[in-house]
Amino acid sequence: MNFAKVALSQGRNGSGSVNGDTESVTYDDHMEESRRIQKKADRWLMVGAFCMGTLVLGVIGFPIFLYGLMILRRAGRAGFSVRPLMVTLIGFLVFIDAALNSFGWALDLVANHTLIDRTVTVAWGNFFDAGYFWHYNELRIGGSGAPGEKSWEVACILVVFPMRMAAAYAFLQMKRWGHQWLIVTCWFGVVIWVGYTFNMTMYADLRYTHIGFPVIAWWIYDIFYITPFLAIPYLHTVNRELFTD
């Protein structure tokens, strides 16, 4: 860790004190400045992640998120004690994935008669998944009429995705319970991936007939659910002592 840069900065600002315990004061200044930089980066990262999680504001959120990453990267190169970059990427990857799925499915589940949902969802059905076009708003619960779709929506929106977002947030705060629960919810994600893709395969004649991108659509769906497979190896191999109680 480069303590000299912090000490020099404090001296120039006139806030540093000179005494026999220079090393101790320098260390405290270093940790205080590291926390300040981490909070600044997190503000940009959270705003960017929130915007990307809405999908509609993703174009705005992506450069904001990249700016937050740039702050962390520069701080790490300068020797400050900031969160490891891999922890940041894994945590926000899981958070954004859960937010994206929650936003889209929540619209279909509870806002299926709104103009924005009828426009976006029916367009999605025409291009990628006919399950969101077939018998739309004709069930007791409106929205997609695809077999099994509502069961997955309720289970994931009310249980899995909130757990994943909470675990990801605690993981980013370097909390041990966040690390533990992120492992649990990522394995939940594996269950979702297997079950949902199998359900789509069983009804492929309904979901992938007469749409714009039938084969490409299949891979688009897989990408949205692949985050557990990216996060689990890291979560099981990372040094757990990095996370506090």
**Residue ranges per structural domain of the chain:** 1-82, 83-245
Average pLDDT on 207-230 reads: 77
Q: CB-hemisphere CA count at 13 Å for 89?
A: 10
With 90 as the cut, is the pLDDT of residue 184 above it? yes
Is the separation of the CB atoms in 49 and 98 below 8 Å?
no
- Contact between 243 and 175 under an 8 Å Cβ cutoff? The reply is yes
Residue that has been written with the tokens 């695809």 in this structure: 146
H-type alpha helices, the chain = 3-13, 22-53, 58-77, 85-110, 115-127, 149-155, 161-172, 176-202, 204-207, 214-224, 227-237
| pLDDT surpasses 70 at 23 | no
Q: What is the pTM of this model?
A: 0.79
Residue that the structure tokens 């509870």 belong to: 110
User: What average pLDDT does the segment 97-103 reach?
Assistant: 87
Cα-based angle 95, 99, 101 (whole degrees, multiple of 5) = 120
pLDDT tier at 25, thresholds 50, 70, 90: very low
More confident residue, 28 or 232: 232
| Amino acid 221: pLDDT | 67
